[in-house]
Structure 1
Amino acid sequence: MLTRSNLYVELILFVVAFFWGVNPAVMKLGMADIPVLSYNAARLLVAVMGAWIAVGISKTYHPIDREDYKKLFMVSAVGFFLFQYLFSMGVQLTTAGNSSLLLALLPVSVALINWVLRLEKISFMMSLGILFSLFGVVLIIVGSGKKLSLSSEHLIGALYLLGAQAFYGYYTIFSKDLLNKYSSYLISAWIFTITTTIFFIPACYEMIHLNWSRISLTGWLSTVFSGAFPLCIGNFLWIWGTGKIGSTKASLYNNIAPIFAVASGYVLLNETFSLVQFSGAAVIFFGLYLTRIKKAAIFSRS
């Protein structure tokens, strides 16, 4: 039964899906004006400030126990940092619609990591779903208007994004223990902080030599929007909504994001979406339907 409370939660998750869907297009607008490493470091800094403000408002600060330092660092450095790095590189090389569709493959990444680490077994239907999803990725790349070759930007971008999903899957799986012990606000704040600190290492040289005074208003608005809404607020609202209605139902809204991505790419970037790409999207969603895990939970994104 759909109560008024559940309707409110689902409306919030719909807004989150909108943030995540338009984020690749918004990022591409910003990266047209700001180099990719500097752009992502700047939007992460926005997310860090927002996350610690949220910790202060919610009064959920608690010292991290010594035995959890290593786990927090590994989740941040191996999981979230490498996801952010590869994600930003991938978004730059392919369309906004393709980026969002490839990001929807997270359940596949989680299933494969669980299988490799022998945490969970992969059923026949899940294996079939993974194959369908990967075939859908091939259709997306082929339908992007460039031939399938090692020199294709769309292929390289897809490989970056597939790698990003693998590290995001690692982050999703191994962040659960921390979430059971600390508030999501506090863990998000620390993960954003550690990730941003590491991200400044490869971005430092580029940021020092960048003439920040020449960045357009569009570049600044893109940076602030992407860091504040999809990255910071979107993650907080997603965690809250998942806790209210469950991860299975909430995950349905994750699959709405590509619709907004394709639409925003068309409106903001004049991107096209071919029939082959549409077919690839349909195959991916069918594959995700086959691989759906009822207890899967997505902690954060973008």
Structure 2
Amino acid sequence: MKESPNYTYVLLVLSMMLWGGTWVAGRVLAQSVHPMTAAVLRFGLASVILLYMCWRAEGRLPRLKRDQILPVVFLGATGVFAYSYFFFTGLQTIPAGRAALIVACTPVCIALLSAVFYGEKFGPLRILGGLISLVGVSVVIADGDPLALLAGGMNPGDFMILGCVVSWTAYTLGGRSVMKRLPPLSSVAWSSFTGTLMLLPVALNQGLIADLGRVRPVDWGCVVFLGFLATALAYYWYYRAINVIGASRAGIFINMVPAFAVLTGFLLLGEPIHLSLAVGGTMVITGVYLTNRA
């Protein structure tokens, strides 16, 4: 039975809410451990949960054919290893707001390449929706002054965050190809597992063992949130959405993440919230709606 697009949209919005919460959970976790340690804990837990979900659904662990191994490794290398590396390295040198604006270019890249490689329609309405959504993101994260984020020219951290855009675009489009022969749940499970294996040597080299001794109870709570909710469930829902409505229409929802991040910071950390969230958030939702109109 074909999945309803409306149900898919609900799952996508829930995924973006969870990804918005990763900014808060990641900030808390980063106070105790190295970023690569956090990434290993997050995706290691997610891999265990996802493989268990596969076992429950199919009665056994998912199997890969020989010609499926390299495509799945590609997903792990792009969506888990490369994205984590570029993301955490970039945030060491540039503000989170500037990074979020750069990452907001991801849906546009996904839509353009989907039109080129998969023939997805990319007409004037989608272009308009993408632009409105992108401007809305900049309004949210710059507190009403988007041009302030662009001041100062490019620096090495900006190029690291651009690496996030490239790696997530590759993960999204690569997943669409992989899911022609592998279910979304298996695709996410194996990509998370292979990505964790790639992260592990880097984390060990940067003090993984010592970091484990500094993990606080609140940090383990953040790991559970990041690994189970924000990765195992949200990544799976995102891939299901790509399978139903296409990469470009699912990708535009990513622009909701900064708005949810600001809202989560207000609710959990008491960070100030301004009118720019309402204005920018409305623009993001409008852009997403225009992009996904039938």
Which band: TM-score by shorter chain? 0.7 to 0.9
Q: Does 1:183 align with 2:199?
A: no
Q: Distance in 1 between matches of 2:198 and 2:62?
A: 23
2:27 maps to 28
2:210 aligned counterpart, secondary structure = coil
2:193 maps to 193
1:300 maps to none
User: Relative to structure 1, is the Cα distance of residues 70 and 104 closer, same or farther in structure 2, using a 3 angstrom cutoff?
Assistant: same
2:233 aligned counterpart, secondary structure = helix
User: Relative to structure 1, is the Cα distance of residues 209 and 239 closer, same or farther in structure 2, using a 3 angstrom cutoff?
Assistant: closer
Given that 2:256 and 2:285 are in contact with CA atoms closer than 8 Å, whether structure 1 keeps it comes out as no
Q: How does 1:1-302 map to 2 (within 5 A)?
A: 16-58=15-57, 59=59, 61-89=61-89, 94=95, 99=100, 106-115=106-115, 119-120=119-120, 122-143=122-143, 148-150=150-152, 156=157, 163-208=163-208, 210-237=210-237, 246-247=244-245, 260-276=260-276, 278-292=278-292
1:34 aligned counterpart, secondary structure = coil
Given that 2:25 and 2:226 are in contact with CA atoms closer than 8 Å, whether structure 1 keeps it comes out as yes
Q: Distance in 2 between matches of 1:121 and 1:141?
A: 29
User: Relative to structure 1, is the Cα distance of residues 105 and 60 closer, same or farther in structure 2, using a 3 angstrom cutoff?
Assistant: farther
1:210 counterpart letter in structure 2 = A
Q: Distance in 2 between matches of 1:115 and 1:251?
A: 13
Given that 2:107 and 2:255 are in contact with CA atoms closer than 8 Å, whether structure 1 keeps it comes out as no
Given that 1:83 and 1:168 are in contact with CA atoms closer than 8 Å, whether structure 2 keeps it comes out as yes
Deviates more, 1:143-152 or 1:169-178: 143-152
1:175 aligned counterpart, secondary structure = helix
Given that 2:79 and 2:167 are in contact with CA atoms closer than 8 Å, whether structure 1 keeps it comes out as yes
Given that 1:141 and 1:148 are in contact with CA atoms closer than 8 Å, whether structure 2 keeps it comes out as no
1:149 counterpart letter in structure 2 = A
TM-score (structure 2 length as normaliser): 0.74
1:44 aligned counterpart, secondary structure = helix
Given that 1:40 and 1:88 are in contact with CA atoms closer than 8 Å, whether structure 2 keeps it comes out as no
Deviates more, 1:230-239 or 1:83-92: 83-92
Following superposition, the deviation at residue 119 of structure 1 comes to 4.8
Given that 2:73 and 2:194 are in contact with CA atoms closer than 8 Å, whether structure 1 keeps it comes out as yes
User: Relative to structure 1, is the Cα distance of residues 14 and 118 closer, same or farther in structure 2, using a 3 angstrom cutoff?
Assistant: closer
Following superposition, the deviation at residue 14 of structure 1 comes to 6.3
1:262 counterpart letter in structure 2 = V
1:214 aligned counterpart, secondary structure = coil
How many residues are aligned here?
285
Given that 1:142 and 1:148 are in contact with CA atoms closer than 8 Å, whether structure 2 keeps it comes out as no
Segments of structure 2 that go 5 or more residues without pairing to the other structure are: none
Following superposition, the deviation at residue 227 of structure 1 comes to 0.7
Given that 1:126 and 1:290 are in contact with CA atoms closer than 8 Å, whether structure 2 keeps it comes out as yes
Structural RMSD (CA): 4.2
Q: Distance in 1 between matches of 2:182 and 2:260?
A: 33
Given that 2:37 and 2:208 are in contact with CA atoms closer than 8 Å, whether structure 1 keeps it comes out as no
User: Relative to structure 1, is the Cα distance of residues 103 and 57 closer, same or farther in structure 2, using a 3 angstrom cutoff?
Assistant: farther
Encode CA deviations 1:4-51: one digit per residue, 9 max, x unaligned: x99998877665454333222112111122221211111111111112
